[in-house]
Amino acid sequence: MHGSKDGEKSHGGDFSYVGIDAILEQMRRKAMKQGFELNLMVVGQSGLGKSTLMNTLFKSKVSRNKSVQSNPEERIPKTVEIKSISHDIEEKGVRMKLTVIDTPGFGDQINNENCWQPIMKFINDQYEAYLQEEININRKKRIPDSRVHCCIYFIPPTGHCLRPLDVEFMRRLSKVVNIVPVIAKADTLTLEERDSFKQTIREELRANGIDVYPQKEFDEDAEDRMINDKIREMIPFAVVGSDQEYQVNGKRLLGRKTKWGTIEVENIAHCEFAYLRDLLIRTHMQNIKDITGSIHYETYRVRRLNESNGHPGALQANGVAAQHEALSHEM
């Protein structure tokens, strides 16, 4: 975007340098000082390796492992619970507040109808809290962001197709949150089985109109589309998680040791964990947060503000803009 007053400058101390590009450095400094927030939700049946995957992703004990000795009845909750744990982590001066939201009990009961409801409610509650803070008269300098940025959905490695529960859940939630589906415990599938499973899953997602992250409609330009198309070819990622290190070829690597070999978690020939990690953390994290903030949250806001126009009893702010205008004309 070159405007009519195009002042192309070169860097370096000669007199034609203005210094506009120093703003990038200023912005980076401010961002580092403020720190970042990331809220991840993991959804899947118990035993699929959700906690282990979180620990592998962030290379630390993010979720406390459920102790194996506990009573089996205690372990499976009667309804879907939402457990949210926050951690402060830091890497090379970048501080992040990571919140992992666990959903024990999802898909574990005999009758699983409506088991997505507590989750939907939780996600919408976070949007609601943000909205309430935003419309306050006296609001905080930086509104605390507890909105769920990304939901990782664990698909059990049956090798056939998606179950009705999976389809229902993803269909409903892809409209309110970014969903990243992963095939859990992918070391039970051979490479051919894995590929055909993925193919089936992709077709089913398309057939049911489920738009998972990265959504096609939010691609900004051709470059984005190219990068995202490559990712869309690989979804869902077949992952293996492990937080134990083993000696392989003289190096200590994260992996799972079995009698027939060691599965290296970060080896892309073995599983796609590295792709998932790159997508979530190294390349698309900011993009995930932006889509949550500018699209999912705005959709929620529009819906809520329009809703209460018809129901005066609902507890939230109205079309304040219209009122604002009307009253300012009055005054």
CA pair distance 118, 315, nearest whole angstrom: 20
* Phi, psi at 38, each rounded to 5°: -140, 130
Q: Does 199 bind another protein (CB under 8 A)?
A: no
Residue selected from 79, 196, 247, 286 as contacting another protein according to rule CB under 8 A: 286
- Report the SS3 class of residue 55: helix
Q: Does 249 bind another protein (CB under 8 A)?
A: no
CA pair distance 33, 95, nearest whole angstrom: 8
Q: Are 149 and 288 a contacting pair, CB within 8 Å?
A: yes
Q: Does 328 bind another protein (CB under 8 A)?
A: yes
| Binders in 205-244 for another protein, by CB under 8 A | 220
Q: Are 305 and 318 a contacting pair, CB within 8 Å?
A: yes
**Of the two residues 155 and 182, which places its CB atom closer to another protein in the complex?**
182
Q: What is the CA radius of gyration of the chain?
A: 23
Is omega for the bond preceding 118 within 30 degrees of 0, making it cis?
no
Q: Are 271 and 186 a contacting pair, CB within 8 Å?
A: yes
| Binders in 144-163 for another protein, by CB under 8 A | 144
**Of the two residues 59 and 160, which places its CB atom closer to another protein in the complex?**
59
* Phi, psi at 210, each rounded to 5°: -95, 125
Q: Which stretch binds another protein (CB under 8 A): 15-23, 43-51, 68-76, 155-163?
A: 15-23
CA pair distance 168, 328, nearest whole angstrom: 47
Q: Does 143 bind another protein (CB under 8 A)?
A: no
Which of the 8 DSSP states describes residue 186?
Answer: G
| 79's tokens | 């309804």
Residue selected from 46, 77, 97, 128 as contacting another protein according to rule CB under 8 A: 97
Residue selected from 46, 75, 82, 96 as contacting another protein according to rule CB under 8 A: 96
Q: Which stretch binds another protein (CB under 8 A): 24-32, 64-72, 114-122, 183-191?
A: 24-32
CA pair distance 47, 185, nearest whole angstrom: 10
**Of the two residues 36 and 246, which places its CB atom closer to another protein in the complex?**
36
Phi-psi region of 208 (alpha: psi -120 to 50; beta: other; left: phi over 0): alpha
Q: Does 290 bind another protein (CB under 8 A)?
A: yes
**Of the two residues 24 and 207, which places its CB atom closer to another protein in the complex?**
24
Residue selected from 7, 164, 209, 310 as contacting another protein according to rule CB under 8 A: 7
The nearest distance, CB 96 to another protein, in angstroms, is 6
Residue selected from 111, 138, 190, 249 as contacting another protein according to rule CB under 8 A: 138
Q: Does 34 bind another protein (CB under 8 A)?
A: yes
CA pair distance 297, 126, nearest whole angstrom: 10
| Binders in 56-95 for another protein, by CB under 8 A | 57-62, 86-95
The nearest distance, CB 186 to another protein, in angstroms, is 21
